Structure 1
Amino acid sequence: MTEQELKTNISEVRMKALVCILLLLETFVFVVQQQVDGGLNEKERPDIYKALRELTATVTEQKENIRALETQLRNEMKKKDEEISNLTLSQVELRKENRDREIAFSAALTQSNGENIGPFPTEVTLTYKNVFTNIGNAYNPITGVFTAPLKGAYMFRISVFGYGPNPAGACIYKNGEKLVIAFANQPQRELNSSNGVVLILEVGDVVYVRLYPNTKIYDSYNNHSTFSGYLLFTLI
């Protein structure tokens, strides 16, 4: 039985009890009036007293019903309060768990008016210092390295920008292994390229970007060259 149904039943029982009390009072007044007017004959007296006893018993019964329903309602409300309290605790724990799984970052190479990086004869790890987002603090802007805090599937993307005649290129690495490259080459004007990859990472795995040998990339406050990543879902 729902809380509203219990309240409705209590109201109905109380109404019935009130009606019985009114009838009991009406009968009592009738008896008193008859006694004042000259008394009751022997045939009338037993019937009226019997009615009084029956009404009194009914009122007593209705009072017991009200007490029982009120007790039931209190128990139901207490149970609901406990359920709400347990639900609230579960929601708090779920929100905390979800916050622990919120991992995402995005950064550009520089905040300067304009800066070229490279070319170098060998690969160089890039540090993306202009951080837009770093939820979970898994990306280190000092080293340029992302370290996986949870086992899961992660998405990573890079974009590179430059000017010819120098080619522009950068590679995504996982634990020292080269995975994908974004590369562009033409004799003049702007160069741009991008690439991405979904990786399964264990806790402690690292992902970073290296400038491709003998290439040059450019960045400015317009944020042409970027490195981003986020957790898609966790794995057991």
Structure 2
Amino acid sequence: MKALVCILLLLETFVFVVQQQVDGGLNEKEIGQQISSEGGRQNQPQTDTLRDEASTDSKQNYNMGIPDIYTALRELAAIVTEQKANIRALQTQLREQQTFILEEMNKKNEEMSNLTLSQVEELKKENRDREIAFSAGLIQHGYRNIGPYTTDFTLTYKKVFTNIGDAYSPFTGFFTAPLKGAYMFRISIHGPGGIPANVSIYKNGEHMVTARDVQAQEQLNASNGVVLILEVGDVVYVRLGFGTRISDSYENSYNTFSGFLLFPLS
């Protein structure tokens, strides 16, 4: 727009000079004064026109919806600042979540460790409860014969070799089951010849099995065993049959009574 106005002014001046030369001519000084006068006369309107045009262009740009560059930059800076704040908030939230997850994992690991330790202790206790076994010899010192008696006689095996779980009593000769389960029991007997030897295993007063031998001379030996299903509190013991005899010595322990838990039952 500005260039167009300048071109028009120059054309107007050129036409004026040509006409004056045709009419009688102007000297060079007069032509310069004329151009200067024309330029001065036209300068103020030109400036005002350019200012008006610039204002008009600005208004047209605004009316056409073209955003002001500085306003757009300020809005963009505000958006960037807001996004930075959002990113910092997300980073803080992420760190908090990571810390929470780590704390929860540590708690779970500690709980699992404690649970494992508890389970191990429980298994150890359970295994200790299942460790049931005993073995005992008949007499504690010297050598002697036992029997014959006119009735069956309960034997008390006083020389204890093993008594894991303390289920056998050397004072009564009774084994009392602490757990329901399958138990293995065994007896061995020895005696002089001439009189039979007859020893039996009983469960709660009921006869189970017998070890028996008869020799006219010399010595006699026998053994027997049985697996019994016992409830808690059931008792097992050994009786010498009436009219029979056994003999034993502390050093040799010929006559023994043994038992152990094979496996518990639910």
Task: Check if 1:163 corresponds to 2:192.
Answer: yes
Where structure 2 has 5 or more consecutive residues not aligned to the other structure, the ranges are 1-87
Given candidates 128, 131, 143, the residue that maps to 2:160 is 131
Pairwise CA distance, 1:64: 10
Match of residue 201 from structure 1: 230
Pairwise CA distance, 1:83: 1.2
TM-score using structure 2 length? 0.60
- 1:224 maps to a residue whose letter is Y
Once residues 103 and 206 of structure 2 are traced to their aligned partners in structure 1, the CA distance between those partners, rounded to angstroms, is 66
Once residues 104 and 258 of structure 2 are traced to their aligned partners in structure 1, the CA distance between those partners, rounded to angstroms, is 54
- State the identity %: 58
- 2:164 maps to a residue whose letter is I
Once residues 219 and 145 of structure 2 are traced to their aligned partners in structure 1, the CA distance between those partners, rounded to angstroms, is 13
> Displaced runs of 4+ in structure 1, greater than 3 A?
60-78
Once residues 110 and 167 of structure 2 are traced to their aligned partners in structure 1, the CA distance between those partners, rounded to angstroms, is 40
Once residues 115 and 204 of structure 2 are traced to their aligned partners in structure 1, the CA distance between those partners, rounded to angstroms, is 43
Match of residue 210 from structure 1: 239
TM-score using structure 1 length? 0.67
Once residues 132 and 193 of structure 1 are traced to their aligned partners in structure 2, the CA distance between those partners, rounded to angstroms, is 20
Task: Check if 1:86 corresponds to 2:115.
Answer: yes
Match of residue 40 from structure 1: none
Structure 2 SS opposite 1:79? helix
Q: After superposition, give the CA deviation of every residue in 1:85-124 in whole Å (9 maximum; x if it has no partner).
A: 1100111112112212222111110122212111112210
Pairwise CA distance, 1:223: 1.1
Once residues 108 and 92 of structure 1 are traced to their aligned partners in structure 2, the CA distance between those partners, rounded to angstroms, is 34
- 2:156 maps to a residue whose letter is T
Pairwise CA distance, 1:180: 0.6
- 1:142 maps to a residue whose letter is F
- 1:93 maps to a residue whose letter is E
RMSD: 2.6
Where structure 1 has 5 or more consecutive residues not aligned to the other structure, the ranges are 1-59
Given candidates 211, 214, 218, the residue that maps to 1:182 is 211
Task: Check if 1:227 corresponds to 2:257.
Answer: yes
5 Å matches for 1:135-146?
135-146=164-175
Q: After superposition, give the CA deviation of every residue in 1:13-60 in whole Å (9 maximum; x if it has no partner).
A: xxxxxxxxxxxxxxxxxxxxxxxxxxxxxxxxxxxxxxxxxxxxxxx9
Kindly indicate which of the two structures has a greater share of residues assigned to helix: 2
Once residues 69 and 150 of structure 1 are traced to their aligned partners in structure 2, the CA distance between those partners, rounded to angstroms, is 51
